[in-house]
Amino acid sequence: MSTLFKMIWTEFKILLRNPMAVGFTVLFPVMLIVVVGFVWGNPPDPQLGGYGGLDAMAPAYFALIIVIAGLINLPITLAVRREQGILRRFRATPLRPAFVLVSQVFVNLLLATTGALLLLVAGRVLFHLRFPADPLGVMLAFVLSGLSFFALSFIVAGLARTSDTARSIGLVLYFPMMMLSGAAFPRASMPQALQAATAWLPMTQVVTLLQGLWIGTGWNLIAVTVLIGMLIAGVLIATRTFRWE
């Protein structure tokens, strides 16, 4: 296990040297909650059980962090390593291939968790953001959502031949989901037809699951089922599509 820990520590130091990845994952959602908070505030809403609008949107911003780490950071990193021949060299060493992939998942999940904690602190200090009704549930859902999107990212990394392609695929998937999943603004403000059409987006499931646990309506079993299915399917497909060189 010491080899895995050393690999994780090395990958984490390398990640910290990438200001674009760190800034986009950690600072963008924090900036978003600050801007929205100063514009709309966080007054209690009886329809949300006393929670404010910002309280309801905070878990949606958690979803943004997860998807940035999963669809953008991780695939680009693996594609760059493939282009530079690093993955091929790893494969030629006694280092287990699983260690390489697990270390990437771990450091990106750690970065996403850091971003979520900073967002929570900023919201609490500036706008009296209420803590989740089910903190443990939110943490478990956050990890499940992250693992599901990381499994998807391995598929993207396997299909993308270059880092530019991986970046393009990630952004093409990310921005429409951000706008249509309820992560940028509440889905209740969308037309009914659009809500129905976007209900099964992976990011919609993350937002739905986290919001329910945050404001106390409990686990959304449909969202959990979709994310677990996404995780299993992603792993199975990634084992066939992922390439080391």
Q: Which residues pair with 52 in a beta bridge?
A: 44
Q: What was the pLDDT predicted at 34?
A: 87
Closest CA to 29 of 92, 97, 143, 117: 117
CB of 11 closer than 8 Å to CB of 103: yes
Task: Determine the angle formed by the axes of helices 2-16 and 97-127, rounding to 10 degrees.
Answer: 50
Mean pLDDT for each consecutive 10-residue tract of the chain (245 residues)?
80 82 83 86 76 85 90 87 81 73 88 92 90 91 94 87 87 89 83 89 93 90 95 88 77
Closest CA to 72 of 144, 176, 185, 150: 150
Q: What was the pLDDT predicted at 144?
A: 95
Write the CB contacts of 226 (distance below 8 Å, at least 6 apart in sequence). 200, 202, 205
Q: What was the pLDDT predicted at 203?
A: 93
Domain count across the chain: 1
Q: What was the pLDDT predicted at 1?
A: 59
* Structural domain harbouring 103: 2-241
Write the CB contacts of 121 (distance below 8 Å, at least 6 apart in sequence). none
